[in-house]
Structure 1
Amino acid sequence: MANLEEKLKNPVWYSLEDTHHPFLKTYDGVQFYKPDICIFGAFFDETKTENALNEYAKIAESFFLVSENQNPIINTNHVILERKIDGCQMVLEKLVAVENTEDIVLLTEKHIDEVYDLIWLVMPGFYQKKSFYMGKFYGIFKENKLVSITGQRMQTNDFIEISSVVTHPDYTKRGYAKQLISYVTKDILKEKKLPILHTNKGNPAIPLYEKLGYKITRDMNWWLFRRK
């Protein structure tokens, strides 16, 4: 059985092996989420990726493979590499206390459209509406409008990833994301799991994450492919 460190090296794979196994779609040693849930895939053996990508492209127009340092092999007759996102993994080192001045709400299925619309407003392109079912989402409302959210995404029995940190452009610079990340971090710790997150290298939000007690631990690269 893989230990925590091994799982963190391949978080998509082990999430699908564990908590998110109901969302699994597999092709000969390459594991993907069902595309209506999430468009991420993972692998150990890069020689398996060529055929798997060809097959997954039949049901998903665009999608990612996530890896620490391996380079997937592709068949350019069927799939093209749109871009590689140089990312990093951050892991909570020490919880930093944050004053909570806002009413933070656990979102329910009735908020699924609002969550989707807010994420696509700020970060269009890759969030699937049913990604809501990957974990808990929390939000801040102003004048009955959802203006800031933070959610959970990949997870196993020993870690949970914080994701979908999004604030409406009209409500930024008010500390909403800081409070939400802190709140979700503490919620994960209550489950006796390790909070982690992923971001692209150079993201201006990294200093905020570091102030909240997270540290960069490894590269985590996102290969974005598109059906040809």
Structure 2
Amino acid sequence: MYSKLDSPVYHALNEFHEKFCLHFGDTQFYTPEVAAFGGSAHVSGEKDITAYAKSCDDFLIFGAKPKTEQDLSRLVCDQYVLEKTIALDYTEKIIQLKEKDYEELFAFIAKFYPYYFKNRTPELGRYFGIFNEGKLVAVTGERMQMNDMTEVSAVITDTDYLGQGYAKQLVAHVSGKIQEDNKTPFLHVAESNAGAIKLYEKLGFRHRGKIEVWGIKR
């Protein structure tokens, strides 16, 4: 049922995010100003990687290990899907971030995850935040999107505000918005991130499997 999630980048760029697609050989890549990701329905080859590397020095391949002589880093992620509605009592006001908020959004992301966002990353989907005394303290948004599935991503809370349930409320809110679009929410989390995994499972996300993410630096 969720076989497209074996190659989520490839299928997102064949479907809802087609406008961001750069196609090299057997691999689909996001326009690098939007996201430095690539993926193939099968295996990405050396020619595909070399072609994309002309415009992007540092990028990720989701799925099967690429056939390349480049040095690769490897991250194993757990993949989760949400098949039910999350019942939750919200205590915080959640605001959809607009273009006027992007400067603060970029500064917030850069503080905790440098280089996570590209210049046009907010074009991927909607981003939501929680503010405390006018300061952005937690965000969550949408990343890869297919016609029937959307990824929950950028789940980030200011370290000074951890433990207040902000991430839980934001993930629930974003997931609800995705379900209102008649899509299934999914997400990726590093298999070593036990705290996040516990949160997602408590919210009702079901473990679908594992996916490898390969880092390439030219």
Please indicate the TM-score interval, normalised by the length of the shorter structure: over 0.9
1:184-205 alpha-carbon deviations (Å, 9 max, x no partner): 1111111111011111102121
Answer whether contact 1:135 1:152 (CA < 8 A) is retained: yes
Give the drift of 1:211: 0.6
Q: Any conservation in 1 of the 2:86–2:176 contact (CA below 8 Å)?
A: no
What letter matches 1:222 in structure 2?
V
- Taking the aligned partners of 2:66 and 2:4, their CA distance within structure 1 comes to 19
1:72 alignment partner, one of 33, 42, 66: 66
**TM-score normalised per structure 2:** 0.95
Amino acid at match of 1:72: P
Which residue identity lines up with residue 214 of structure 1 in the other structure? F
- Do 1:86 and 1:219's aligned partners in 2 also have CA atoms closer than 8 Å? yes
My pick for the range that moved more, 154-163 or 48-57, is 48-57
Of the candidates 202, 207, 210, which is equivalent to residue 201 of structure 2? 210
Query: Which amino acid is the alignment partner of residue 156 of structure 1?
Result: M
Distance 1:90 1:129 in 2: 28
2:20 alignment partner in structure 1: 23
Deviation by residue 1:73-93 (Cα, 9 ceiling, x = unmatched): 1133xxx32x10011210014
Matched, 1:129 2:136: no
**What is the number of equivalent residue pairs in this alignment?**
217
8 Å Cα contact 1:162-1:184 kept in structure 2: yes
CA contact (8 A) 2:128 2:141 kept: yes
* Residue matched to 1:58: 54
Offset at residue 218 of structure 1 (A): 1.1
1:104 partner amino acid: I
* Equivalent pair of 2:112/2:158 in contact (CA under 8 Å): yes
Return the TM-score normalized by structure 1: 0.91
Please state how far the C-alpha of 1:63 moved relative to its aligned partner.
0.1
Deviations 1:21-60 (A, max 9, x none): 11001111211001000001001332x5211111111111
1:12 aligns with: 9
Over 3 Å counting, the alpha-carbon distance change for 1:44 and 1:156 in structure 2 is closer
Q: Name the SS for the 1:133 alignment partner.
A: helix
Q: Distance in 2 between matches of 1:31 and 1:16?
A: 7
- Write out per-residue CA displacement over residues 85-144 of structure 1, whole angstroms, 9 at most, x where no aligned residue: 011210014333111111100111111122222122222233213111100001111121
Structure 1 runs not aligned, ≥5 long = none
Whole-angstrom CA distance in 1 between matches of 2:119 and 2:16: 19
Number of the residue aligned with 2:31 = 34
Sequence identity of aligned pairs in percent?
A: 36
**Pairing partner for 1:171 from 156, 161, 176:** 161
Counterpart selection for 1:158 from 130, 145, 148: 148
Q: 1-side partners of 2:13 and 2:51: how far apart?
A: 18
Question: 4+ runs of 1 displaced by more than 6 Å?
Answer: none
